[in-house]
C-alpha cells in the first residue's frame, strides 16, 4: 500500500471515532459482590481500549500534519494497538468467566431482594459492555471500509484476533444471566420478568460480538 494511501486513510481517521470513546459511566453504586468482579473487568478493558484509541488517532494525526511516519510504521502502530486491546479483552474475559462460574454458588440461599438487585446491576453491566463493544466495532468498521479490500494482512489478522477476544469477553455474560435466572424463585413473577429481560440484552451483546 502506498504512503499517500495511508495519509488519505489517516485524514479520514481524524473525524472517525476513537477505538473506544468515553461512555457516560452507568451508576452501579450498591452493587453486590457478584457484580463487583464483572464491573471491574469491564472497567479494566475500557481503560486500555480508550487509551489505545487515543494513541491510534494521535499518531495518524501526526502523520498527516508532519509527514513523519512511513507506511510500515503506521501499520505497526495499528497492529500494536489492536493487539494490546485484544489482550485486554482476553484478560477481562478470564475474570468474567471466573465471576460467572461462582455465580450459582454465590446466589444460593439469597433473598429475593438480593437477587433482584443483582439482576438489575447485571443488566447495567451488560449495557456498559454493549457500549464498549459498539465503540470497538465502529473503529473496526472504519478500518475495513477505509482500506476498501486492501487491508494490510497484519492488520487484518489482528482484527480477527480482536474479534475472537471480544467473543470470549461477552460469552460469560450468558452464564451469569443463566445463574441469576436459576436463582429466582419460580413464584416471583417480577424477578422472572427481569431475569428474562437480562437474558434478552445478553443475547444482543453476543450478537454484537459476532458481527464486528
The model's pLDDT over 98-107, given as tens digits with 9 standing for 90+, comes to 877 776 677 7
For residue 208, pLDDT beyond 60 = yes
What proportion of the chain, given as a percentage, has pLDDT over 70? 71
The predicted pLDDT at position 138 comes to 77
For residue 14, pLDDT beyond 60 = no
* Domain assignment of residue 197, yes or no: yes
Higher-confidence residue of 29 and 123: namely 123
* Domain assignment of residue 24, yes or no: no
What is the total count of domains within the chain?
1
**Whole-Å CA distances, 205 to 72, 78, 133, 170, 186:** 35, 25, 8, 7, 26
The predicted pLDDT at position 84 comes to 92
* Domain assignment of residue 110, yes or no: yes
Q: What is the DSSP letter of 32?
A: -
What proportion of the chain, given as a percentage, has pLDDT over 90? 17
Give the mean model confidence (pLDDT) for residues 84-101. Answer: 88
* Domain assignment of residue 25, yes or no: no
43: containing domain: 3-19+30-210
* Domain assignment of residue 156, yes or no: yes
Give the mean model confidence (pLDDT) for residues 153-167. Answer: 90
* Count of Cβ atoms closer than 10 Å to residue 79 Cβ: 17
Give the mean model confidence (pLDDT) for residues 45-65. Answer: 74
The predicted pLDDT at position 32 comes to 57
Amino acid at each position: 500500500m502506498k504512503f499517500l494511501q495511508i495519509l488519505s486513510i489517516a485524514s479520514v481517521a481524524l473525524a472517525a471515532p476513537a477505538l473506544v470513546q468515553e461512555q457516560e459511566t452507568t451508576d452501579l453504586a450498591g452493587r453486590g459482590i457478584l457484580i463487583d468482579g464483572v464491573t471491574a473487568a469491564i472497567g479494566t478493558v475500557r481503560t486500555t481500549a480508550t487509551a489505545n484509541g487515543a494513541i491510534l488517532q494521535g499518531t495518524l494525526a501526526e502523520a498527516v500534519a508532519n509527514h513523519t511516519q512511513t507506511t510500515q510504521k503506521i501499520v505497526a502502530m495499528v497492529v500494536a494497538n489492536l493487539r494490546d486491546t485484544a489482550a485486554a479483552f482476553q484478560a477481562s474475559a478470564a475474570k468474567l468467566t471466573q465471576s460467572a462460574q461462582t455465580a450459582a454458588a454465590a446466589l444460593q440461599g439469597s433473598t429475593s431482594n438480593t437477587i433482584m438487585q443483582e439482576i438489575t446491576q447485571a443488566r447495567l453491566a451488560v449495557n456498559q459492555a454493549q457500549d464498549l463493544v459498539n465503540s470497538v466495532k465502529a473503529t473496526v468498521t472504519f478500518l475495513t471500509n477505509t482500506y476498501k479490500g486492501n487491508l494490510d494482512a497484519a492488520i487484518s489478522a489482528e482484527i480477527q484476533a480482536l474479534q475472537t477476544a471480544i467473543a470470549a469477553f461477552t460469552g460469560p455474560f450468558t452464564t451469569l444471566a443463566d445463574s441469576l435466572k436459576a436463582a429466582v424463585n419460580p413464584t416471583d413473577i417480577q424477578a422472572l420478568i427481569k431475569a428474562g429481560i437480562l437474558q434478552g440484552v445478553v443475547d444482543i451483546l453476543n450478537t454484537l460480538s459476532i458481527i464486528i
